[in-house]
Amino acid sequence: MFFYPTLTDELLETAGFSLTSYIYSYNVNDLDCRLIGKGKNVVKFDDDTWRIERDGLRIRRSIVIEYPEYLYGKSGIACEDAELGICIIWTNKTLKQMGTILPGNTYRNEASSVYEFDYLFEPGTIKGDLCLETQLYIKKAAEKILLGEESLMNDEGVKVGVLDEVHLDLGSMYMEFPIAEINDKKLPMWWLELSDWSEPQKDLFDEDSLCIYLNTAYELCPKMGETVKYADVLIDIITTVYVMLYRKVSDCGCLANTINDVDLEEGSISKILYYFKDSCKTDIDFSTEERMHKTIWMNVADMINGGDD
């Protein structure tokens, strides 16, 4: 919840925002090799010759605001005398790091403002996942605040609207879960260990909060690695894990906030469960646990088996 006006869908449309899709590529012997991403909210790459840790990742995109004047003044989100900027905030949950990307090139094209981004994640700097959130922020505060602009945010560096959010899955989907392998025939083929968390909206989705144990003593146990062996078993495991997590989140009284993205901290257990729900093609039916299980299974199967996008 914000106590100042932020970007709305209506304003986004009125101001004429146009965002190109990201262009992803990597460098091989000074050749820029394109990567084709599959998926909209969660993007995956199928290129076997590319490895993020070894090859890095270059991202490019342009953003045009056709009528930027609508963003300013008492009906907008910044004072007439202020300047708005656009940046991409990246988060790499696996390595617990984040940063800010500013446009390399900004110019006016007739009445439009154009922002061009071109950024290279060097090899060895990111792994596992990458979230790219394009944000509008107050770049320069207004010196003069006009009548009617008192409620507008006027502090430099403050974010006033999300333009879009893209998640790159740089491993396989199930690898987003903290996973440990064990080898012990006296133990089950897999189990989920949940630590004693009670605030899923804040507690981080990491190994300290939860861990899936895969017992390689069983032949059918899915193996960790580049390709998925025994995918059907893996689908059942991941489905059950999601059901258990939603149940625990519900026990904590946070299910409604979790599925509606209310007050969720980035990287928290609830936020990850929200992303999962949001990326599902088939709506998850939360009305009963059996229905939840069935609808989650359909989505997990689709993700692991690689449905058409």
Partner 1 sequence: MIPTKKLTKDQAKHLIDDIDKLSAPLFDELIAKWKNNIVDDFSFEYNELRNKVIAVYKESKPFGWYETDLKVGFALYREFNPANGFSFVLASDDDIWRYLSCKVFPDITYERYPTPEKEILEQGGHINHKRFYSHTRRIWLKTLWWYIFLSWQGSEAETYDVLRRFGVDTISDLIERTGQGYRLALYRQLMYDYSRVKNKNTDLFNTIQKQNLVNCRTTEPALVKDAEKGYLGMLFRQLSIEIDDVDRRTNE
Given the rule CB under 8 A, which residues bind partner 1?
2, 53, 85, 87, 89, 91-100, 123-127, 135, 137, 139, 141, 155-159, 180-183, 204, 206-208, 265-267
Opening angle at CA 54, ends 53 and 56, nearest 5: 70
Nearer to partner 1, 41 or 100 (CB): 100
Nearer to partner 1, 31 or 225 (CB): 225
Q: Which residue has the tokens 């709305």?
A: 8
Contacts 24+ apart (CB under 8 A), 235-238: 235/297, 235/300, 235/301, 235/304, 235/305, 236/297, 237/174, 237/190, 237/212, 238/173, 238/174, 238/177, 238/300, 238/304
Contact 86, 68 (CB under 8 A): no
Choose among 261, 182, 194: nearest CA to 223. 182
Nearer to partner 1, 222 or 239 (CB): 222
What does the alpha-carbon distance between residue 281 and residue 205 come to, in Å, rounded to a whole number?
23
Nearer to partner 1, 70 or 205 (CB): 205
What does the alpha-carbon distance between residue 113 and residue 95 come to, in Å, rounded to a whole number?
34
What minimum distance in Å lies between the beta carbon of 127 and partner 1? 5
Contact 93, 23 (CB under 8 A): no
What minimum distance in Å lies between the beta carbon of 112 and partner 1? 22
What minimum distance in Å lies between the beta carbon of 88 and partner 1? 11
Give the DSSP letter string of 243-265.
Answer: HHHHHHHHHTT-HHHHHHT-SPP
What minimum distance in Å lies between the beta carbon of 103 and partner 1? 12
Nearer to partner 1, 137 or 246 (CB): 137
What minimum distance in Å lies between the beta carbon of 159 and partner 1? 6
What minimum distance in Å lies between the beta carbon of 223 and partner 1? 13
Which amino acid is residue 188, in one-letter code?
A: P
